A and B are shown apart, each in its own frame.
Chain A
């Protein structure tokens, strides 16, 4: 099990008022994401637990792109990974952010 942690500055809060959302499942090739609106609006943190070691730089790139695309200010995001591919992670993160906006 590898633990990764990223912290990004964001221009402002993610729109919407929802305080918490959970999406996905912990299954092989999939992942579960918990999103909580608990931080200052200019910060987003992402904590990852993954069974597959050695992909830190890919996670870093996926998270950085997600933050640039979704601007998820104020969110603490926790990922319980089941060995998902980067594209699945990326799609699930965007879906999670949309759930917080509605």
Chain B
């Protein structure tokens, strides 16, 4: 055997072992769902690096159920390298010993259980990554031996249609298939001809017809009916004090109610301020239903998507000028490209967090929940490799100041934290010390899971006002600027009142009244849509919300 082809030979042996298990039952690459466990036991080796596709939204759930049922005597000590830890099965494999080590990005729905398992030592944690960072490592030191992925349909040669939720699939397959790995795809149906080829069949080794359609998490739907006046007030401040001030056209929004409120205020409050066409025209964003009124009112030029959103498919098909769509008409999303777009081509990231400390560091980790990062540390960081100017970026750069020849000054990305001073259950958002540091100490992490570092944050917006950290010239000013918008939390009440007033005089802190915002306007009547049903009307009936958001 040639010394240079050991991986290739191992791959061929795995595929042969897999084929032997489905002998006489397979048709082309298609394996029946009842042979999944046998197939996985045949192709997996102890210690393998495995990507069990768990995206932000789309889940290879049939293959996950199969993996859990494997015999731990045969399949054990796997190293899971997947972006999302979302389904119970994603953690069940660590309880049985099938898996041992984990490198991942996001664990929203499993945040509480993953915290317990990390404390209990059941999971050997590599790192919590940002999406782009984990994808990068797929090509360097975390290349999967086996990828278990999900698509909507496939033909018998393995040509795969991912549907609107393409998400991570092309990246996972690229890294696995071109480096001697084995790729197994679960699909909802086998067809003679796929609507479009998202993944060519020669990169897919086995196709499993799933027992039921894969699960998609509706992560990006915020019901306007639940929006509060405080969130509306914060959104008004952000639009007037940041979007208009910096002329932000290219941006990414987080998934909270605050940014959803901004989306719903563009056609009303934004229109009144004369900002149409001047702000929020080009987006790296999932297809948020709350963006529909702004799209329908002509605010939005184009949107590139990380993934799709449940119920938005028909609407997107009818708006190809706005969204990226395939020859078949449906959305083509791509998490890796969209994250890159958010990193390099957007001038602003604006999103929420759970905790902010006195230096502006933020984290979504609490003592009882480890939600992971997803894309936020990537979106919410100033990319030092950027080399193209924009008015927004240069203005932020000027405010940040700095030393040396002004002609060598570079811009800054706006990284805005939009938070209410208290979260659910009167838990303060502002803290002396991040829980992330305690978690790191308890489970022995070398790097505390900080979502966005303070030196990347440019603004913090709360119901009390906007703190512009770019204009702060030392650590003390920064601390008082943060305390000065921290409301009635302990941190906020611990402010130096005279210093905060001085910062306000210099425009570092701006209150609603400083921005000319009338508190009586912070009313739900200002929302372009006040319910999910309103969003359906705005879409001309094209948006089809999932059952849990329907109350009519």
Which A residues fall within an 8 A CB radius of B?
Answer: 58, 61-62, 69, 85-88, 90-91, 94-95, 98-99
Contact = CB atoms under 8 A, between A and B. Distances in A.
B55 interface: no
Given A91-B519, A94-B519, 5 more contacts: A61-B488, A85-B230, A86-B487, A88-B229, A95-B520
B162 to A, nearest CB: 41
A63 B520 CA distance: 18
Contact of A85 (B422, B513, B519, B520): B422
B520 A99 contact: yes
Chain A contact residues, majority secondary structure: helix
Contact of A87 (B487, B518, B520): B487
A90 B512 CA distance: 12
Contacts of A61: 488, 493
A86 B519 contact: no
Given A61-B488, A62-B488, A86-B488, A91 B522 contact: yes
Contacts of B463: 87, 90-91
Contact of B422 (A87, A91, A94): A87
- Of the four ranges (under 10, 10 to 19, 20 to 34, 35 or more), the interface on chain B belongs to 10 to 19
B98 to A, nearest CB: 44
A91 B464 CA distance: 9
Nearest to B420: A87
Contacts of B297: none
B72 to A, nearest CB: 47
A18 to B, nearest CB: 13
Interface in B497-519: 513, 518-519
Interface of B: 228-230, 233, 420-422, 426, 462-464, 487-488, 493, 513, 518-520, 522
B461 to A, nearest CB: 13
Nearest to B487: A87
Contacts of A58: 488
A95 B230 contact: no
Contacts, number: 42
Contacts of A91: 229-230, 233, 463, 519, 522
A50 to B, nearest CB: 13
A87 B512 CA distance: 13
Nearest to B512: A94
Contacts of A90: 463, 487-488
B519 A87 contact: no
A87 B464 contact: yes
Nearest to A59: B488
A69 B421 CA distance: 19
Nearest to B422: A85
Contacts of B229: 88, 91
Contacts of B519: 91, 94-95, 98
A58 B463 CA distance: 16
A87 B513 CA distance: 15
Nearest to B229: A91
Give 3 closest A-B pairs by Cβ, nearest first. A86-B488, A94-B519, A87-B463
A87 B230 contact: yes
A58 B426 CA distance: 12
Nearest to B493: A61
B493 A98 contact: no
A56 B462 CA distance: 23
A86 B428 CA distance: 11
A58 B422 CA distance: 13
Contacts of A99: 520
20 contacts: A61-B488, A61-B493, A85-B422, A86-B421, A86-B422, A86-B487, A87-B230, A87-B421, A87-B462, A87-B463, A87-B488, A88-B229, A88-B230, A90-B463, A90-B487, A94-B519, A95-B519, A95-B522, A98-B518, A98-B520
Contacts of A87: 230, 420-422, 462-464, 487-488
A94 B230 CA distance: 12
B426 A85 contact: yes
Q: Which of A62, A87, A91, A98 is the most central at the interface, judged by chain B CB atoms within 10 Å of its CB? A: A87
A28 to B, nearest CB: 12
Contacts of B421: 86-87
A102 to B, nearest CB: 8
Contacts of A86: 421-422, 487-488
B394 to A, nearest CB: 34
Identify which of B421, B462, B463, B522 gathers the most chain A CB atoms within 10 Å of its CB.
B463
A91 B488 CA distance: 13
A61 B487 CA distance: 10
A88 B487 CA distance: 11
Nearest to A93: B519
